Structure 1
Amino acid sequence: MTNKNSKSFKYGAAALLTAVIVIAIAIIVNLIVIRLDIQWDLTTNKIYSLNKTSVDFVQKLTKDVTIYGLYDNTKIESGDTYAIVNELLKQYKNASPKIAIKYVDVDKDPGIINQLDPQKTKTIAKGDILVSSGKKLDVIPAASITYSQSTQMGQDTSLLVENYITTAIKRVSSDKTPTIYYTTGHNENLLVEEFNQIRIAVEGGGYYTKALNLQTEPKVPDDCELIFVMAPKSDLSTDEAKKVTDYLDRGGKIFFAFDPVVPNQNLPAFDKILGQYNFSLNYDKVKEGDKNRYVSGDANNLLVFLESNAILGEIPAGQYAINMPNSRSINILKTVKEGLEIVSLAKTSEQAVGMQIDKSKGKDINGPLDVVVAAEYTGGMQDSRIMVWGNASMFKDQYINQNTYQILAVCMGWLIQNKDDMGIPPKSLNLETITISQTNANITGIILVGAIPLLIFGLGTFVWLRRRHL
């Protein structure tokens, strides 16, 4: 009996000591994890983790960068998109001592916007994320944090914010600020006037915008990322045309938008520049004959559906429809030029007609007519790109809409081929689900709720019976 009691005491003490050791180890491990803020991202898409590109870049920062979250951080609930943003911001801070994170509730502290943007060059709103370094400020609108699109599987929502933040950090910490110019001197409609919304969007993307008068400038400035030429009503001079050609030869990018011209008006210098890319302007005004392709009651207000192509990507039929009030058509020349790739982005129906404004220029032009075209030339010292829209009015403040903004952003992205963009892919926020039949669901339930607990209970009973006589 004494022996039996001694063995029982021995096994009991060993079991108790083992339990104490396990509990102690668990407590120590938990304290270490809490102390070191160690976390594991078990999500399939690693939505709570920074991409290696972001980590590697911020670890090399030499300038101080502050990231502002313009929202009340204390009211963010688990599962909210901003909860993911907060986790990513914390990782930015952990990755580099040069990064500071600040949360500001603009309802309680509205002065922060004037403090960060005293010149009011940006459009800033509650929920935005701002990235600042020195006097440079980049804005990531709240609407840009995620992107939703319809797929065959339903609505897919992706998180885009990491690419925007890392790209913004790169921009504000760079010694060079890219500039987008808009031409003056040819009775153009200026970005600061009728196209003010474009200017705001461009500057919100981290660019400066400046006027460019080629009559006074010796050349297109070296910091030029892109030139907007919006509805010129008079032609370039020979000297101006040479400056534009020299700029394109250096790898320039130009966004042309031409409205229909008045009679007896020619733009041969512009035509000569476009001719280098196998384009020419038609001196017409497009009238659509298909009732489904224009706004009711106005055959000159085109309803154009963008087509899938190398620039805009795969577009479901009828996905993007844009209004183009009072358009002219663009002629794609048949000349073959090595290194030149041409893409038609939008065209009319076969029933459309390009009505010649000046009848001396020939007969009306039958559809289909190209109204948006683009070209890339890779045969020179540096690659150059141009895009030509047969409509500038659609970009005016009174016409521009969300569809137009999205299309413009894609077009600018193709033209500029932004070197600042870090190319971090979006991460889907959709949960992966497994669909099973009702029978399989019942079987799974029986196994999880019944069979496994019974198995554990049986094993426990077996062990207890074996050990009770030790």
Structure 2
Amino acid sequence: MKNQEKKAAAPMSEEKRQNKLKRRKKLKYGGLATAVTAIFVVVVILVNVIVSLIGNRFPNAVLDLTTSNVYEISDETLDYIRDLDQDVEIAVSSDESTFQTDKYYKMISETISKYQGYSDHISVTYFDTTKDPDILAQYQELYGGTISSGKIIVTSGKRIKVYDCFSDMFELDQQTYQYYQYGMASLTDCITGFKGEQTLTSAIMNVTDSNPKAVGVIAQSNGELIYSQTQANYYAVSAAQSLLDSNGYDVTELDIVTDTLDTEQYDILLLPAPAQDLTTDAIAKIKDFLYNDGNLGKQLIYIADYTQSSTPNLDAFLKEWNVQIDRSVVRDEDSSSQTVSTLSGKGKVPIAYVNADEDDKGYDGNLNNTSLPVVAPLTRPIDALTANNGRTVTSLLTTSNTSYRYPLSDASGDTASADDVPEETTEDAAEAETEAAETTTSFNVSAAERSENTVMALCRDQQSTGSEFIESDVIVLGSMSLLDYNLVQDSAYNNAEYFVGLLNSICGKEDSIVIAAKDLSQTSISATETQLKTIRTLVVFLIPLAVVVIGVIVAVRRRWR
């Protein structure tokens, strides 16, 4: 017993004491390291949560490094949705998880999320059509068609617009899309551009519009397409319809023979370049629409084109509105021209200038960027006639005084010569003009008279009822190519914005935003100079500096312990 007490009382050896201190030190620093690691993990999680919240609350704080700024929203859209004073619901008829796995679906979900982040009046819902039949039923009640899976539904009050996630949210290459229909390509192979912003903004404008306008597009005559069936014309009509629909107009295709031009149902008619002359009965239907039982208040958009044959009935109708369209196309190889690529081909075409004298009447198109040109490919000139019938003609777009008129061949009484199309024509357009090309007559360009030429005009019939003025209008365009598919989709030209802005002013519709689709053909990541500078500062300076400071602090603490 005594030996045990002596043994317990014996002083600890120096070696054991040092080992004990080392173990205690290891435990201390090990615990500190664990605590630091735990704190770091917590901080990382909190930073991610905070960044996610900031991204949702302030969408513009999220950097978009894609080449075409796929996830960015234009200033015009931002201004519009920030000023919304009506509640809008965007519903997606698919599970939200589906829109996080596919890269194309993710473009849609991210864009929708930004809309919600910028406006408290916009709410977003995802639902499954099979699991949530009650939600589907409430939308189905407002919509005349069938709502299936993969639709984007935009509603406000009792108004609704429904879009397909692919065909309405993305630009599709039409040739590849034909391969897809035959099972020779995938749907994603067809995608060339993202037009999610264009679709969503137009949908919101449409469902919140307090003054909706309905457009009847006279696309057929007795079941046949009314215009010359070239590729350029087909897609120009499609582009015009899409442009109107995207800016809040309700668009319906009509047949001039079998359909009624109901003044109660339609505010505006669009007549795209009939290849053959209209019958007297068809002309009478258009006249009755514009007269509207003496109440006027209607508009007709008439588009001429070089592909038209002789149209004496249409010419007589236009003459009553004090205009005639010359059998020629306007050309200009001077500085007031620009080389453009249209579906008809590539070549130099005249630049059309907005009539500045009419700005106070709202005929300037309310353009956001007046430095961008309006170009006029293959456009027939419009001449004003003098008549004492109370109707006025206003020149809206004119070419420069260096332009001249190149005559269309009338030798066969058919369509224009192939020489009237740009040098690099599409196969479709060239084939359509082969027969007339054989009858082309020579023309001395150097001796041609140079002068300004009107390529778009407004004919107005205004009458007084005693207390107010009422009016009907005929808007005349000299070419289908003014609304060429390529030009309408290209934000480098003002063709689309001017057309929509002018129509809005004339028919009393206020809101319009023309948005170009975002090109997805380039997949590399890019950044603006400001973004690059921010990333460079963070990676090259701030992060290394933080590491150095932490290292110095740790070294100093270890040195003095």
TM-score category of the 2 structures, normalised to the smaller one: 0.5 to 0.7
Q: 1:96 to 1:84 in 2, by over 3 A?
A: same
- Further displaced range: 226-235 or 404-413: 404-413
Q: Aligned with 1:343: secondary structure? A: strand
Q: Which residue of 2 aligns with 1:255?
A: 302
Structure 1 residues without counterparts, runs of 5 or longer: 1-11, 107-111, 149-156, 291-300, 436-440
Q: Aligned with 2:475: secondary structure? A: strand
Q: Which residue of 2 aligns with 1:280?
A: 324
Q: Aligned with 2:86: secondary structure? A: coil
1:234-291 per-residue CA deviation (whole Å, 9 max, x = no partner) reads: 5646992893699998583523336644497673331231x3xxx4222x37799x9x
Q: Does 1:373 align with 2:373?
A: no
Q: 1:455 to 1:22 in 2, by over 3 A?
A: closer
Cα distance in 1 for partners of 2:538, 2:210 equals 60
List aligned pairs for 1:50-61, cutoff 5 A: 51=78, 53-57=80-84, 60-61=86-87
Partner AA of 1:330 in structure 2: P
Q: Does 1:202 align with 2:241?
A: yes
Q: 1:450 to 1:139 in 2, by over 3 A?
A: closer
List aligned pairs for 1:349-364, cutoff 5 A: 352-356=406-410
Q: 1:147 to 1:226 in 2, by over 3 A?
A: same
| Conservation of the 8 A alpha-carbon contact between 2:328 and 2:381 | no
List aligned pairs for 1:217-228, cutoff 5 A: 220-221=263-264, 223-228=266-271
Cα distance in 2 for partners of 1:364, 1:247 equals 49
1:137-195 per-residue CA deviation (whole Å, 9 max, x = no partner) reads: 343774665789xxxxxxxx997533531331332355765311246xxxx95496415
Q: Aligned with 1:431: secondary structure? A: coil
Q: Aligned with 1:233: secondary structure? A: coil
Q: Aligned with 1:139: secondary structure? A: strand
Q: Which residue of 1 aligns with 2:106?
A: 83
Q: Which residue of 2 aligns with 1:388?
A: 477
Cα distance in 1 for partners of 2:143, 2:113 equals 28
| Conservation of the 8 A alpha-carbon contact between 2:301 and 2:475 | yes
Q: Which residue of 2 aligns with 1:462?
A: 556
Cα distance in 1 for partners of 2:539, 2:126 equals 47
Cα distance in 2 for partners of 1:28, 1:201 equals 50
- Further displaced range: 243-252 or 130-139: 243-252
Q: Aligned with 2:486: secondary structure? A: helix
Q: 1:450 to 1:401 in 2, by over 3 A?
A: closer
Cα distance in 2 for partners of 1:199, 1:406 equals 12
Cα distance in 1 for partners of 2:350, 2:52 equals 55
Question: Shift of residue 352 of structure 1?
Answer: 3.3
Q: Which residue of 2 aligns with 1:421?
A: 512
List aligned pairs for 1:281-430, cutoff 5 A: 281-282=325-326, 284=327, 305-309=348-352, 310=354, 329-333=380-384, 340-344=394-398, 352-356=406-410, 373-375=455-457, 386-389=475-478, 402-403=485-486, 406=489, 412-417=499-504, 419-421=510-512
Could you state the TM-score of these two structures normalised by the residue count of structure 2? 0.46
Aligned residues: CA RMSD: 6.8
Give the length in aligned residue pairs: 392
Q: Which residue of 1 aligns with 2:62?
A: 43
Q: 1:68 to 1:389 in 2, by over 3 A?
A: farther
Cα distance in 2 for partners of 1:373, 1:352 equals 14
Identity of aligned residues (%): 13
Cα distance in 1 for partners of 2:303, 2:558 equals 85
Partner AA of 1:179 in structure 2: A
List aligned pairs for 1:171-210, cutoff 5 A: 171-174=206-209, 177-182=212-217, 189-190=220-221, 193-194=224-225, 198=237, 202=241, 205=246, 207-209=250-252
Cα distance in 1 for partners of 2:142, 2:238 equals 16
Structure 2 residues without counterparts, runs of 5 or longer: 1-28, 131-135, 173-191, 228-233, 334-343, 355-364, 414-440, 463-468, 531-535
| Conservation of the 8 A alpha-carbon contact between 1:257 and 1:388 | yes
Q: Which residue of 1 aligns with 2:418?
A: none
Q: Does 1:74 align with 2:101?
A: no
Q: Aligned with 1:457: secondary structure? A: helix
Q: Which residue of 1 aligns with 2:278?
A: 233
Cα distance in 1 for partners of 2:451, 2:403 equals 7
List aligned pairs for 1:113-152, cutoff 5 A: 129-132=152-155, 136-139=160-163, 142=166, 145=169
Q: 1:139 to 1:180 in 2, by over 3 A?
A: same
Could you state the TM-score of these two structures normalised by the residue count of structure 1? 0.53
Q: Which residue of 2 aligns with 1:297?
A: none
Cα distance in 2 for partners of 1:338, 1:260 equals 26
Q: 1:85 to 1:444 in 2, by over 3 A?
A: closer
| Conservation of the 8 A alpha-carbon contact between 1:255 and 1:388 | yes
1:346-370 per-residue CA deviation (whole Å, 9 max, x = no partner) reads: 99986933345699xxx99967899
Instruction: Give the structure with the higher percent helix.
Output: 2
Q: Which residue of 2 aligns with 1:102?
A: 126
Rg: which structure is higher? Answer: 2
Q: 1:170 to 1:253 in 2, by over 3 A?
A: same
| Conservation of the 8 A alpha-carbon contact between 1:226 and 1:252 | yes
Partner AA of 1:431 in structure 2: S
Question: Shift of residue 52 of structure 1?
Answer: 5.6
Cα distance in 1 for partners of 2:311, 2:51 equals 76
Question: Shift of residue 209 of structure 1?
Answer: 1.9
Q: 1:354 to 1:199 in 2, by over 3 A?
A: closer
Q: Which residue of 2 aligns with 1:270?
A: 318
| Conservation of the 8 A alpha-carbon contact between 1:179 and 1:210 | no
Q: Aligned with 1:51: secondary structure? A: helix
| Conservation of the 8 A alpha-carbon contact between 1:226 and 1:253 | yes
Cα distance in 1 for partners of 2:270, 2:528 equals 47
Partner AA of 2:457 in structure 1: A
Partner AA of 1:432 in structure 2: A
Partner AA of 2:456 in structure 1: A
Cα distance in 2 for partners of 1:91, 1:161 equals 12
